[in-house]
Structure 1
Amino acid sequence: MRTSDFDFESPTDLIAKFPSKERDESRLMVIHRNNKNIEHKRFKDLHKYFEEGDILILNNTKVFPARIFGNKEKTDAKIEVFLLRELDSEDRTWDVLVDPARKVRVGNKLNFGYGLTGEVIDNTTSRGRILQLNFEGPHKNLIKKIKELGKTPLPKYIDRNPENIDKERYQTVYAKIEGSVAAPTAGLHFSKHLLKKLEIKGIHLIEITLHLGLGGFLPVEVEDISKHKMDSEKCFISENSCKFINEAIKNKKKICAVGTSSMRAIESSVSSTKNLNPFIGWTNKFIFPPYNFSIANSMITNFHMPKSTLLMMTAAFSGFSLIMKAYKIGIQKKYKFYSYGDAMLII
């Protein structure tokens, strides 16, 4: 398939700028792969589609306040720095994106205030730099200061400054392990009340970790999908999580990947017998049609950007024609799109 096959006109008025008033009050499109039926529900109805012994796989990553602002030494030009990942805690070097990139060169020094400074020591891409941060005291003091100064890294398409509500709502209620610069957005719809309903019904909530970078949210820029290269993301799947999931596979239970990040994680560590293996490492797995999924037989996801790897994975799971039909209906019925938008359950 070609990248252009996944293009569609996405109305800007359907991009959700704010989260729904209550997490589980967002809309839920339910897509049945066997008979091609499509239902329109609320996310709080999710528990009705699962039974005792079924599994939901949750990505428990926590979003890091990755966006900080500083001034360039001498010129005092304002520079936005997006902290992608720490490369070396001893050297305090970070892989970052800078904006405006044309003003930031190797050797430039940045001042973020409150004793935090940085020096650009290398280029990586057109906007990418290696930044060495400096702050007095041990490494933990540096991290604490970054968290104090950092802003919630809302995607650019939300097109507004972060507000207090985003500190809570751009995290899942089960976020535990810090390391992402973007939220696993399918999980944003879960309330603590809904999770408790699922547990009471006997549905197992199994956690894995995949720390999201920005790569999955960028459009694919090559027409031949197979030529696209995914950014690597760090992943952790415990032996205990595998035990529950593999038992559910054996018993032919419903196994639901909550979000493309959960799906990508589990598909990165499949055994020759189609079971899930424990995993600690990095994955750059790119899933696009056609693809045979090994672990999950259902999936929760949001409405994604045109020509994105997230849409391609969703199409691989649901079937291309069915997902494009669902998106057309979603636009007609005014479903909200992207990170703070509505959800779909594919079963």
Structure 2
Amino acid sequence: MSSFMPAANQNTNPNKSFEVAEPPNDSISSLSFSPKANHLVATSWDNQVRCWEIQHSGQNLASTPKGMISHDHPALCSTWKDDGATVFSGGCDKQAKMWSLATNQTMTVAVHDAPIKDMAWIPELNLLVTGSLDKTVKYWDTRQQSPAHTQQLPERCYALSVKQSLMVVGTADRNIIIFHLQQPQNELKRIVSPLKFQTRCVAAFPDQQGFLVGSIEGRVGVHHLDEQLLSKNFTFKCHREGNEIYSVNSLNFHPVHHTFATAGSDGSFNFWDKDSKQRLKAMQRCSQPIPCSTFNHDGSIYAYAVCYDWSKGAENHNPAAAKNHIFLHLPQEAEVKAKPRVSTGRK
């Protein structure tokens, strides 16, 4: 859809973000922060899962590598248990691993027939949910070898998002499947994505009333589940530059203000308020795509990766020359706090 970046803009870090030490050796596929502390995990195409401790004092940040585990093939996704001390990761080896940071022990806790594309921990059920290209989601009690439940999907799972009892799953062929996790074996609703192109990411609303969906065609859909709120649904364009159109790779709700961030293959991230339908802040474009991003537990740090995102295939990737970065941005309140839309109409 696009050539990547004009030669004039080759700045990897135009927003002057803090850079995390000792980044992965290949493209970064997921980022996730501990729900309890500023511990950041990254999965990578170099098969590794890495963890850093982030020290945050005022406007100052520092990062200390805390450990690393390996998969047999590229690692694609990660999530944390609600204890803040256990990391789950999954990937192309079709396995999910559980990593205890306290003991540095790992064990395989989930197996699929194809790569695991996304995952989430469900505190209310004490279960791990994994979504795979084998067209299933599986729920796992990590003390058992077999899944607690296997749910067939209409197509390959590309993304999933859990917020308390709501789970949203995006698959190939633009299916969006909604589950109420008190009855995970039953689909609550299945819809076709409001976006006309392939789903790239989803994010359940913090209030569980709906979800966001992002596509490869530089567009986000805001969708409510209640039939009476369907008039509030809308889509909007983003991550575009003139006629160039880029994928929306990541959607993250702010944990306090419930505004959200988008990050895309154009190398930019933006903050938005869905309720007033406005962009709160547009950041400068980096010279490489942003494939993944996440907020920490209190929203004071926004982490994003800058690296090749495979949107142009392996033939356009040179591992020897490619640089992989993880940056930390400290959001200002004006960037992420909701504000009413200013009317420009005359009285």
TM-score range, shorter chain: under 0.3
Return the structure number with greater helix share: 1
The structure with the largest alpha-carbon Rg is: 1
Give the TM-score normalised by structure 2.
Answer: 0.26
Return the structure number with greater strand share: 2
Give the TM-score normalised by structure 1.
Answer: 0.26
